[in-house]
Structure 1
Amino acid sequence: MILVDTNVLVYAVNESAPKHQASRRLIEGVQGKTVPGVLFPQILLEFYAIVTNRKRFEQPLEPPVARKQVEALRSFFPVISCGTETLDILFGETTKGETGSGIFDAYLVAQMKASGIATICTYNTAHFICFKQIVVKTPEEVMAMI
């Protein structure tokens, strides 16, 4: 299984983004079951928050449209929910002193560990490279493996 990070989903819906095509191909690979992509609820919430925010998305989606996007993603992505043990993993094994919003990336890694997921697909490689227990790949790298 490969966790698909929020930024890949955002690029996939933003047709003017330079990374749109590669992100769209990856999402289509998940739809076609050639890419074993999964999501956590956190990823879907982050996606909704970004695509509805005028400061972060040049042409923000209206909430009903964003909800439809989330539902569409849920229709073909397995969405894995983790229990509270991920907090124990987060504060016991995963964090390396992250502060501020860095804790959310560390929490994704804790959820990955709890779910047995070894790879994250993201363009924010610098955010995750410090976590030695996971493999970090861009959409282009994932598609080259398929």
Structure 2
Amino acid sequence: MSGDAEELDSGFEAISSPESPAVAAMARDAVVAPVKPKSGRSALEDTLDDDDIEETIGERLWGLTEMFPETVRTLTSKLVHGTQSATCGAYGLSRTIVWIFFSSATILAAPVLFEAERVQVEEVSKQQQRQILLGPSAAIQK
């Protein structure tokens, strides 16, 4: 039984204890060497597989959908499509409302503006005519 216990022992306690002789021996013999990339590739590129590099974000997200139940995926899909169609509908409705408002305002306000301008031009014309006929003092009086 004690042989089985020794085989299962990972030796973690012996290494993690600061006063153990194993730690002192490892610290004494430890040599830290800089890691040099092979063939011009960085250490990060060496650790990545070619399959991971070619995977797009969309493919990764699509793969993550498999971890959710079908009801959650269906509900999420309906929610996204419903939101998209509601947004498109609201955009179309707002375009229609803005068109109706500005075209109606133009049709209703333009004649009023033109008539006000015409009245103002007639008034200036009458003042100029009075000034020519009666002199400068007659243009001030009404």
Q: Same fold (TM over 0.5)?
A: no
Higher normalized strand content (fraction of residues)? 1
Larger Rg: 2
Higher normalized helix content (fraction of residues)? 2
What's the TM-score bracket when you normalise by the shorter of the two chains? under 0.3
